[in-house]
Amino acid sequence: MYQNQHQFHIPVMGTGHSIDSPIRVAHLGINSVISVVDDLLCEKIRKHYCSEFNLPYKNIPRSAADGRADRVKAYLDTVQEIVSRKFEELKALPVFEGSEKDRYFELLPDSNPLKKSYRSIASLPDKEERERQIRELTEKMTPGSIDVNIMAKVDALRMGKDDTPMSAEFSDASAALRGFAQSTVSSGLVLSAGFNPRLYSYLSEFKDFYRDQTGRVKKAIVLKVSDFRSALIQGKFLAKKGLEVAEFRIESGLNCGGHAFASDGHLLPVLLQDFRDKRDQLVETFQPMIKSFYESEGREYPELSDEEITPKITVQGGIGTNGEMQRLLNEFSMDGTGWGSPFLLVPEATCVDDFTTEVLANAGEKDLYLSNVSPLGVPFNNIRGSGSEIHTKELIEKGKPGSKCPKGFLVSNTEFTENPICTASAEYQLLKINQIEESDLPSDKKEDQKNRVMEKTCLCTNLGTGSLIKLGIMKPSYGRQAICPGPNVAWFDRRYTLDEMVEHIYGRRESLVKNERPHMFAKELVMYVDYLEELLKQTDPEEPGFRKLKKMRKNLESGIEVCLKISESEPYSGENVLSLEKTALTQKERLKRLFSEAELVEA
């Protein structure tokens, strides 16, 4: 069964920053997520770790027939081998002598049954009984899961040697899925960035996503979702094929790292209430479809407990204190939480180069912003002063904007070419700038549009650069490091040990953040009103799109009422509910003002 010994997991962070997190923390029982968008980066990291752990390595060239799938499989198999080796070595260690095995148990939440047993054994006077219970406890230990993220919509169709499109199974997402499915890992596949029916259908071709006769699923399906309706639609699509969702992972639309997929103003506490109140519908809806599929295939669906067939529901995006986590677990009945950006400052857990670590540690709230740099055209959480930003500005100053597009994972634009190209590429940017120059726009509008074009950054390469520098594969002088933290990282201001961060998460030490840090729900609310304000500037009140903004306002106002209700409740330790009340009232008035101004413009 897909499980987590902890009340948190480390989500995917860029292509490179969590790429080796399982190697760093899985032996200690902590779940983390690897991105396999960049299979070429995976290959370089594999070569490094094969050398470090004396494992055989044979290069898989770019010209290999099924190279992307083979590289993903080879990397995951290598990670699995290293994690297994480290975990078995840890299990063999003595306990109660300050070993890494002791650390495994000490890091666990106090409510974990393994930790309770560990502490109970420590006081046993009988040596033989003590050794017997230590052996039993050791057998119950499990490593952290080596989870894998695939962005469902990053799914370019590749061209064959004859310059014609290859068949669907060789698309980027399908090839990455095949690599994961054929690997030795038994873990979760985290599907994010939208619903891709072709990819979801492809899951049914691999038996590891189905239950075996004992009821076990070797590879669990985890869906990152924006709301309950999306969870129901995607879950039903899979259930009709007999595929079960092990976990729905809810993420704040804006208060997160990486790409920000904004909702129509549905705030996180509203979404969480919806999941809490309707979660029984998931099993009631999916199970009949799943059993029907098994019957149609002439297979017997195993007898399972309610716990085994009920999808877990977790949440991530901007969590910063134990108090906030306790509210999510207790008031909203979440099964777990994701803590991303704070771990970017934990070298034991993530792969971030020294220059970028300093940029993160010194960043204030104004240094973290929603940017226009992503070729996908989706708002992207960014930080000022990154190596990528410096490099992009240098290219513009030299009159040579854009990237050579060496990897092509984000190609999607056909405005000027028959085959898709990337909006961060030099090819696209030069064509687009020429088009703008030849237009009849006023000069100030031309400059604004050209700047927006040249903002686009080669995320395919730059998001992996920091990890290559950190591991010594690439020289720091290369620069260009991109990183995509959430705004929450502004309140974490130095490097931390893994133990410090875990103790902070569980509220077992003095908080690592200042008391005045705004509540995660307050921060999300401000970000949504900021986002709406920008949309209002770009939308004429007479345009049809203005109606959508009114709907967003209505949803935000409903969310504000929920925030005010939460602010009246008893706070958990370290939870700044006072900031929630103040922010909710301020943003309520701000919404009125913004729409009053818009209506004056209309008049």
Contact 237, 197 (CB under 8 A): yes
Confidence of residue 163 (pLDDT cuts 50, 70, 90): low
Beta strands 380-383; 368-371: pairing state: antiparallel
Instruction: Give the CA count within 13 Å in the CB-facing half-sphere of 219.
Output: 22
Per-position DSSP letters for 141-207, written without gaps between them: --PPPEEEEEETT--PPPB-TTSSBPPGGGSHHHHHHHHHHHSS--SEEEEESS--HHHHHHHTT-G
Phi/psi of residue 174, nearest 5 degrees: -65, -40
Query: Nearest to residue 157, comparing CAs of 349, 420, 360?
Result: 420
Q: Report the C-alpha gap between 315 and 228 in whole angstroms.
A: 13
For residues 153-173, average pLDDT: 74
Contact 253, 226 (CB under 8 A): yes
Measuring CA to CA, how many Å separate 73 from each of 36, 39, 217, 314, 393?
10, 10, 19, 27, 37
* Percent of the chain with pLDDT strictly greater than 90: 81
Query: Nearest to residue 6, comparing CAs of 114, 136, 98, 138?
Result: 114
Q: What is the pLDDT of residue 138?
A: 97
Length of the chain: 603
Contact 149, 36 (CB under 8 A): yes
Q: Report the C-alpha gap between 111 and 300 in whole angstroms.
A: 36
For residues 40-47, average pLDDT: 97
Least confident of 132-141, 433-442, 494-503, 575-584: 433-442
Confidence of residue 64 (pLDDT cuts 50, 70, 90): very high
Helix residue ranges per DSSP H, 263-414: 268-296, 306-309, 322-330, 354-362, 387-397
Which residues on neighbouring strands pair with residue 247, listed in sequence order? Answer: 222, 312
pTM score, whole prediction: 0.93
For residues 559-578, average pLDDT: 95
Which residues on neighbouring strands pair with residue 118, listed in sequence order? Answer: none
Residue 95 exposed, middle or buried by CB count within 10 Å (0-12, 13-18, 19+)? middle
Give Rg (Cα) of the chain.
25
Three-state SS at 224:
strand
pLDDT tens for residues 86-139? 999 999 999 999 999 999 999 999 999 999 999 999 989 899 999 999 999 999
Q: Report the C-alpha gap between 585 and 588 in whole angstroms.
A: 5
Query: Nearest to residue 601, comparing CAs of 538, 518, 522, 544?
Result: 538
Q: Report the C-alpha gap between 464 and 42 in whole angstroms.
A: 10
Q: What is the pLDDT of residue 599?
A: 67
Q: What is the pLDDT of residue 130?
A: 94
